Amino acid sequence: MNRTLRITSIALLVALAAPALAHAAGSGSRLWFAMSYVSPLAETDRTISGVSNAVKASDEMGWQLGAEFRSGMLGVAIDYTKSKHDLSASSAGLLGNTEFSPISGSLLAHLPGAMLDLYGGPTLSWVNWGDLQLSDGTSQKLDAKLGYGLTVGAELPLSDKLAVGGSLRWLRLDAGASGLGDVAVDPLISNLSISLRY
């Protein structure tokens, strides 16, 4: 009896999973647009006018455009994110603002389910920081930096061509200028997206 129940259960699971796996294997590419919330998690101590300050970037809204080229359960995604952030010190206050503009590539593994397409994988980002517009009216050029981290997310298909989703990305990342040292940023990027599948 127990053996029959186990075989029946396994057969039922395979029957339920087969359509999702077949859909994943036949999935093509997707394009998406997302509203992003970029939240720098790190701060760095810096001495400003003889006083030690914790320097941190602000949490801000932004946007993201991306594309994923997928074969079966593996995909390669490329995306561009844009947001603008204030850089502040705990005692000195606002130091200035700059733009956060990473171009990222991710290798994503998909785990299809009956309702959701779950995915995750490593991410590598080339981050072009805009000039730091200082509060005294001058500007300081910031160096482009390489960041790395993880991306996880899920999509809910609305039709064969349209899906909505959400994702999280954490990056190990610094910002800095030559001769001035680096400030840790380590952003967590939260996305709400709409995707076109083809």
> For 104-112, what is the mean pLDDT?
94
CA 121 – CA 149 distance, rounded (Å): 9
Under the banding of pLDDT at 50, 70 and 90, the label for residue 145 is: very high
Q: What is the pLDDT of residue 56?
A: 86
> For 82-102, what is the mean pLDDT?
87
Closest CA to 102 of 168, 180, 171: 171
For the chain, what percentages of helix, strand and coil (3-state, to nearest 5) are there?
A: 10, 65, 20
Per-residue pLDDT at 2 exceeds 60: no
Structural fold of domain 2-197:
Porin (2.40.160)
Would you list the domain boundaries of the chain?
2-197
Of residues 119 and 22, which shows the higher confidence score?
A: 119
Q: What is the pLDDT of residue 9?
A: 46
CA 88 – CA 174 distance, rounded (Å): 15
What does pTM read for this prediction?
A: 0.80
Percentage of the chain lying above the pLDDT 70 cut: 80
Q: What is the pLDDT of residue 12?
A: 40
pLDDT digits (tens, 9 = 90+) for 152-165: 999 999 998 999 99
